[in-house]
Protein backbone atom coordinates (compact mmCIF):
# COMPACT_ATOMS: atom_id res chain seq x y z
CA UNK A 1 0.00 0.00 0.00
CA UNK A 2 1.43 3.35 -1.02
CA UNK A 3 2.27 5.61 1.90
CA UNK A 4 0.47 8.96 1.77
CA UNK A 5 2.70 11.88 2.75
CA UNK A 6 0.73 14.74 4.20
CA UNK A 7 1.79 18.09 2.81
CA UNK A 8 1.73 21.04 5.19
CA UNK A 9 3.05 24.56 5.21
CA UNK A 10 6.35 25.00 7.09
CA UNK A 11 6.33 26.01 10.74
CA UNK A 12 8.65 28.01 13.00
CA UNK A 13 11.91 26.15 13.48
CA UNK A 14 11.55 24.14 10.25
CA UNK A 15 14.20 24.20 7.57
CA UNK A 16 13.18 26.52 4.75
CA UNK A 17 12.05 24.20 1.91
CA UNK A 18 14.61 23.67 -0.82
CA UNK A 19 13.37 25.10 -4.11
CA UNK A 20 14.59 26.43 -7.43
CA UNK A 21 12.93 29.73 -8.36
CA UNK A 22 12.89 32.06 -11.35
CA UNK A 23 13.60 35.63 -10.29
CA UNK A 24 14.40 39.01 -11.77
CA UNK A 25 18.04 38.17 -10.96
CA UNK A 26 17.92 34.79 -12.73
CA UNK A 27 17.33 31.30 -11.37
CA UNK A 28 18.13 30.97 -7.66
CA UNK A 29 18.22 27.95 -5.37
CA UNK A 30 16.71 28.64 -1.97
CA UNK A 31 17.87 28.68 0.74
CA UNK A 32 21.29 27.89 -0.79
CA UNK A 33 21.51 31.25 -2.59
CA UNK A 34 21.65 33.01 0.79
CA UNK A 35 23.90 30.52 2.61
CA UNK A 36 25.47 32.11 5.68
CA UNK A 37 23.02 35.02 5.58
CA UNK A 38 19.60 35.76 7.03
CA UNK A 39 16.92 36.54 4.48
CA UNK A 40 13.39 37.91 4.41
CA UNK A 41 11.11 36.37 1.80
CA UNK A 42 7.96 38.43 1.41
CA UNK A 43 5.01 37.86 -0.89
CA UNK A 44 2.73 40.51 -2.36
CA UNK A 45 -0.68 40.09 -4.04
CA UNK A 46 0.22 41.43 -7.48
CA UNK A 47 2.43 43.77 -9.49
CA UNK A 48 1.11 47.19 -10.51
CA UNK A 49 -1.07 47.52 -7.42
CA UNK A 50 -0.96 50.56 -5.11
CA UNK A 51 -0.26 49.06 -1.67
CA UNK A 52 2.36 46.67 -3.06
CA UNK A 53 4.12 49.54 -4.81
CA UNK A 54 4.40 51.48 -1.55
CA UNK A 55 5.77 48.36 0.14
CA UNK A 56 8.48 47.78 -2.46
CA UNK A 57 9.59 51.40 -2.21
CA UNK A 58 9.70 51.07 1.60
CA UNK A 59 11.70 47.83 1.47
CA UNK A 60 14.18 49.30 -1.02
CA UNK A 61 14.70 52.43 1.11
CA UNK A 62 15.71 50.13 3.99
CA UNK A 63 17.66 47.61 1.94
CA UNK A 64 21.05 48.83 3.13
CA UNK A 65 19.88 48.54 6.75
CA UNK A 66 18.85 44.93 6.13
CA UNK A 67 22.21 44.18 4.51
CA UNK A 68 23.98 45.73 7.51
CA UNK A 69 22.30 42.96 9.53
CA UNK A 70 23.65 40.33 7.11
CA UNK A 71 20.10 39.97 5.81
CA UNK A 72 18.90 39.84 2.21
CA UNK A 73 15.44 40.54 0.75
CA UNK A 74 13.53 38.57 -1.86
CA UNK A 75 9.99 39.33 -3.03
CA UNK A 76 7.39 37.03 -4.58
CA UNK A 77 4.07 37.06 -6.36
CA UNK A 78 2.24 34.86 -8.85
CA UNK A 79 3.20 37.07 -11.79
CA UNK A 80 5.46 36.44 -14.76
CA UNK A 81 9.02 37.72 -14.62
CA UNK A 82 8.20 40.11 -17.50
CA UNK A 83 5.58 41.76 -15.29
CA UNK A 84 8.08 42.12 -12.45
CA UNK A 85 10.65 43.70 -14.76
CA UNK A 86 8.14 46.15 -16.24
CA UNK A 87 6.88 47.07 -12.77
CA UNK A 88 10.44 47.69 -11.59
CA UNK A 89 10.98 49.93 -14.60
CA UNK A 90 7.79 51.86 -13.79
CA UNK A 91 8.88 52.36 -10.16
CA UNK A 92 12.27 53.65 -11.27
CA UNK A 93 10.84 55.94 -13.96
CA UNK A 94 7.89 57.36 -12.01
CA UNK A 95 9.13 57.25 -8.41
CA UNK A 96 12.91 57.42 -8.80
CA UNK A 97 13.51 54.20 -6.84
CA UNK A 98 15.53 51.31 -8.27
CA UNK A 99 14.56 47.92 -6.82
CA UNK A 100 17.82 46.10 -6.20
CA UNK A 101 16.68 42.83 -4.61
CA UNK A 102 15.29 39.85 -6.58
CA UNK A 103 11.58 39.12 -7.06
CA UNK A 104 10.37 35.56 -7.57
CA UNK A 105 8.09 34.96 -10.57
CA UNK A 106 6.03 32.17 -9.04
CA UNK A 107 3.96 29.69 -11.06
CA UNK A 108 1.99 28.95 -7.91
CA UNK A 109 4.25 26.13 -6.68
CA UNK A 110 6.13 28.27 -4.16
CA UNK A 111 2.94 29.90 -2.91
CA UNK A 112 1.38 26.48 -2.40
CA UNK A 113 4.44 25.16 -0.56
CA UNK A 114 4.54 28.13 1.80
CA UNK A 115 0.78 28.52 2.21
CA UNK A 116 0.60 31.96 0.61
CA UNK A 117 -2.58 31.85 -1.46
CA UNK A 118 -5.24 34.17 -0.06
CA UNK A 119 -8.53 32.25 0.44
CA UNK A 120 -11.25 33.57 -1.85
CA UNK A 121 -8.88 35.84 -3.79
CA UNK A 122 -8.01 33.62 -6.78
CA UNK A 123 -4.27 33.19 -7.26
CA UNK A 124 -3.40 36.33 -5.30
CA UNK A 125 -0.96 35.79 -2.47
CA UNK A 126 -1.33 37.15 1.04
CA UNK A 127 1.22 39.64 2.36
CA UNK A 128 3.37 37.01 4.05
CA UNK A 129 6.82 37.45 5.59
CA UNK A 130 9.24 34.59 6.26
CA UNK A 131 12.34 35.49 8.27
CA UNK A 132 15.00 32.82 7.74
CA UNK A 133 18.25 32.68 9.70
CA UNK A 134 21.79 32.04 8.49
CA UNK A 135 21.35 28.29 9.03
CA UNK A 136 18.28 28.14 6.81
CA UNK A 137 15.79 27.85 9.69
CA UNK A 138 12.45 29.66 9.59
CA UNK A 139 12.40 31.93 12.65
CA UNK A 140 9.39 34.21 12.11
CA UNK A 141 6.23 34.01 9.97
CA UNK A 142 3.89 36.98 9.55
CA UNK A 143 0.66 37.18 7.58
CA UNK A 144 -1.20 40.34 6.59
CA UNK A 145 -4.44 40.77 4.61
CA UNK A 146 -4.32 42.41 1.20
CA UNK A 147 -5.79 45.61 2.55
CA UNK A 148 -2.96 46.29 5.05
CA UNK A 149 0.54 47.34 4.07
CA UNK A 150 3.41 46.07 6.22
CA UNK A 151 5.59 48.07 8.62
CA UNK A 152 9.15 47.58 7.34
CA UNK A 153 10.71 49.14 10.43
CA UNK A 154 9.05 46.37 12.46
CA UNK A 155 10.52 43.73 10.15
CA UNK A 156 13.95 45.31 10.59
CA UNK A 157 13.40 45.34 14.36
CA UNK A 158 12.50 41.67 14.55
CA UNK A 159 15.53 40.61 12.49
CA UNK A 160 17.87 42.58 14.75
CA UNK A 161 16.10 41.40 17.91
CA UNK A 162 16.29 37.73 16.92
CA UNK A 163 19.98 38.03 16.08
CA UNK A 164 20.67 39.58 19.50
CA UNK A 165 18.55 36.94 21.23
CA UNK A 166 20.55 34.19 19.51
CA UNK A 167 23.96 35.72 20.17
CA UNK A 168 23.48 36.57 23.84
CA UNK A 169 20.90 33.92 24.88
CA UNK A 170 18.44 36.54 26.10
CA UNK A 171 14.79 37.34 25.47
CA UNK A 172 13.54 40.61 24.05
CA UNK A 173 10.79 42.63 25.80
CA UNK A 174 7.75 44.16 24.13
CA UNK A 175 8.55 47.12 21.87
CA UNK A 176 12.29 46.59 22.28
CA UNK A 177 14.39 48.75 22.28
CA UNK A 178 11.76 51.13 23.67
CA UNK A 179 10.07 48.99 26.30
CA UNK A 180 7.84 50.80 28.79
CA UNK A 181 9.35 49.00 31.81
CA UNK A 182 13.01 48.35 31.04
CA UNK A 183 13.71 50.53 27.99
CA UNK A 184 16.49 48.98 25.85
CA UNK A 185 17.50 46.34 28.39
CA UNK A 186 17.03 42.63 27.67
CA UNK A 187 15.38 39.88 29.68
CA UNK A 188 17.31 37.12 31.43
CA UNK A 189 15.64 33.77 30.57
CA UNK A 190 13.43 32.55 33.45
CA UNK A 191 14.81 30.12 36.02
CA UNK A 192 13.79 26.50 35.40
CA UNK A 193 14.43 25.06 38.87
CA UNK A 194 14.24 26.09 42.54
CA UNK A 195 18.02 26.41 42.97
CA UNK A 196 18.36 28.83 40.03
CA UNK A 197 15.35 30.81 41.21
CA UNK A 198 16.98 31.41 44.60
CA UNK A 199 20.30 32.31 42.98
CA UNK A 200 18.58 34.90 40.80
CA UNK A 201 17.79 37.27 43.65
CA UNK A 202 21.28 36.81 45.11
CA UNK A 203 22.85 37.73 41.77
CA UNK A 204 20.54 40.72 41.54
CA UNK A 205 21.78 41.92 44.94
CA UNK A 206 25.34 41.56 43.65
CA UNK A 207 24.47 43.85 40.74
CA UNK A 208 24.75 41.23 38.01
CA UNK A 209 21.26 42.18 36.81
CA UNK A 210 18.03 43.65 38.14
CA UNK A 211 14.83 41.79 39.05
CA UNK A 212 11.21 42.67 39.67
CA UNK A 213 11.09 39.13 41.04
CA UNK A 214 13.06 35.93 40.46
CA UNK A 215 11.11 35.19 37.27
CA UNK A 216 11.40 38.67 35.74
CA UNK A 217 15.03 39.78 35.60
CA UNK A 218 16.67 42.12 33.13
CA UNK A 219 20.08 43.50 32.29
CA UNK A 220 21.99 45.83 30.03
CA UNK A 221 23.08 44.39 26.73
CA UNK A 222 26.86 44.38 26.67
CA UNK A 223 27.64 44.12 23.01
- pLDDT tens for each residue of the chain, 223 residues long: 444 444 567 899 999 999 999 999 999 999 999 999 999 999 999 999 999 999 999 999 999 999 999 999 999 998 999 999 999 999 999 999 999 999 999 988 898 888 887 666 666 678 999 999 999 999 999 999 888 999 999 999 999 999 999 999 999 999 999 999 999 999 998 888 988 888 888 888 888 889 998 899 999 987 5
Q: Are 14 and 118 in contact (CB under 8 A)?
A: no
Note the pLDDT of residue 208. 85
Note the pLDDT of residue 4. 41
Residue ranges covered by each domain of the chain: 19-151, 169-223
**CATH architecture for the domain at 169-223:** 2-Layer Sandwich (3.30)
Got the DSSP string for 37-96? SEEEEEE-S-SS-HHHHHHHHHHHHTHHHHHHTTEEEEEEESS-HHHHHHHHHHHHHHH-
pTM: 0.90
Note the pLDDT of residue 126. 82
Active site residue 52: yes
* DSSP H or E run through 219: strand 216-219
Note the pLDDT of residue 146. 85
Note the pLDDT of residue 30. 97
**CATH architecture for the domain at 19-151:** 3-Layer(aba) Sandwich (3.40)
Catalytic residue among 52, 71, 211, 217: 52
Report the alpha-carbon angle 93-127-85, nearest 5.
30
Amino acid sequence: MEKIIEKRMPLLGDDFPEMKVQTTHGVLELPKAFAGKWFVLFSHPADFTPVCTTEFVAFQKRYEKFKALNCELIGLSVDQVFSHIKWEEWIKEKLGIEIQFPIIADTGAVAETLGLIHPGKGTNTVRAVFVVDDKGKIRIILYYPQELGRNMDEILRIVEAMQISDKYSVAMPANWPNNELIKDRVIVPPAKDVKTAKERLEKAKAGEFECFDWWLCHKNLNR
